[in-house]
């Protein structure tokens, strides 16, 4: 933002010298932009020799047949849907603002294709978490709208049979949805969050994720029955490590009925928390020694 030319000259001293700048920084918002990337595949042939085949570079597999949508489009759909909780019909409006007018079925097809494509990576991450000695877990309720057509039962797939059983019962009861569960698993030393969805809160969730994949170690969790009985069901291969934070919460809620007992127990919990604060940043062996 320069001064007028007339101000660059002084009537007394002549041409003025630039001695520096004052700087102002302003945040600028540029809406998302979409572009079409064109990839050409050259074809080569022997002139007038139909018996020779045409040669061409092998085309990489696309997300959707015809490779009409780049994986970056799928990333945006998934992030807006699952990260920012935008339903697909709202995503349509967002894309329209960038010049693309997709059908909701198109967005759903891209999302489904991405889910199928990413399965090997998800399995690899889950296997890495199951290599840890200690896994933390919790679950949260998710409403699942019932499909118009039940998915087919996959032979020798326990989860598939369970899905069919739960959804069939719900449809017979004239229900519109069921209460599913999203289970989260995280290793103590493997910093990956794995999410696993089931159509009910039955113990299928942790059993299928842990026991069926031969996990051996400690499971840090609350005292839901699906967790507390996992030691027996895994033939002592898995140890249930109950969560102290959940236990403290119950004591905290009992202050009105048992103020003296609760205050003593909460003070003991505070001592445990103080030890954990001191242990933060220590290696596993040093942390164990401090706790002992």
Per-domain boundaries in the chain: 129-242, 249-291
pLDDT band for position 275 (cuts 50, 70, 90): very high
pLDDT band for position 255 (cuts 50, 70, 90): very high
pLDDT score for 65: 83
The class (CATH top level) of 129-242 is: alpha beta
Contacts 24+ apart (CB under 8 A), 78-87: 78/111, 78/114, 81/111
159's CB contacts (< 8 A; 6+ apart) are: 198, 204, 208
Average of pLDDT values for 88-106? 93
pLDDT band for position 104 (cuts 50, 70, 90): very high
Q: Is the model's pLDDT at 148 over the cut of 90?
A: no
Backbone angles phi, psi at 118, to 5 degrees: -85, -5
In the chain, which ranges are E strands?
9-10, 14-15, 43-44, 55-56, 134-145, 177-187, 193-198, 217-221, 238-242
Q: Is the model's pLDDT at 32 over the cut of 90?
A: no
Q: Is the model's pLDDT at 61 over the cut of 90?
A: no
The whole model's pTM is what?
0.74
pLDDT, tens digit, 9 for 90 and up, residues 182-197: 999 999 999 999 999 9
Q: How far apart are CA 126 and CA 208, in angstroms?
A: 12
Q: Is the model's pLDDT at 103 over the cut of 90?
A: yes
Q: How far apart are CA 277 and CA 280, in angstroms?
A: 5
Q: How far apart are CA 111 and CA 5, in angstroms?
A: 58
């Amino acid at each position: 933002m320069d001064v007028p030319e007339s101000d660059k000259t002084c009537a007394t001293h002549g041409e003025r010298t630039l001695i520096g700048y004052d700087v102002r920084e302003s945040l600028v918002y540029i809406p998302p932009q979409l572009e079409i990337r064109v990839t050409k595949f050259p074809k080569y042939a022997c002139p007038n020799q139909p018996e020779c085949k045409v040669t061409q570079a092998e085309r990489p597999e696309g997300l959707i047949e015809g490779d009409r949508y780049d994986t970056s489009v799928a990333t945006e759909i998934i992030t807006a849907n699952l990260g920012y909780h935008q339903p697909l019909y709202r995503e349509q409006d967002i894309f329209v603002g960038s010049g693309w007018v997709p059908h909701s079925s198109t967005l759903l097809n891209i999302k489904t294709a991405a889910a199928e494509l990413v399965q090997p990576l998800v399995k690899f991450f889950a296997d890495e978490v199951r290599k840890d000695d200690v896994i933390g877990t919790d679950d949260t309720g998710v409403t699942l709208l019932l499909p118009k057509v039940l998915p087919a039962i996959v032979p020798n797939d326990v989860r598939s049979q369970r899905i069919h059983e739960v959804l069939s019962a719900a449809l017979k009861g004239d229900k519109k949805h069921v209460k599913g569960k999203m289970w989260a698993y995280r290793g103590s030393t493997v910093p990956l969050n794995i999410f696993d969805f089931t159509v009910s809160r039955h113990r299928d969730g942790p059993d299928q994720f842990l026991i069926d994949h031969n996990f051996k170690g400690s499971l840090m969790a609350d005292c839901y029955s699906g967790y507390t009985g996992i030691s027996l069901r895994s033939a002592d291969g898995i140890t249930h490590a109950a969560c102290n934070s959940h236990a403290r919460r119950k004591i905290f809620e009992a202050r009105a009925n048992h103020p003296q007992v609760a205050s003593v127990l909460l003070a003991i919990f505070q001592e445990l928390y103080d030890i954990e604060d001191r242990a933060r940043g220590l290696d596993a062996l040093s942390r164990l020694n401090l706790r002992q």
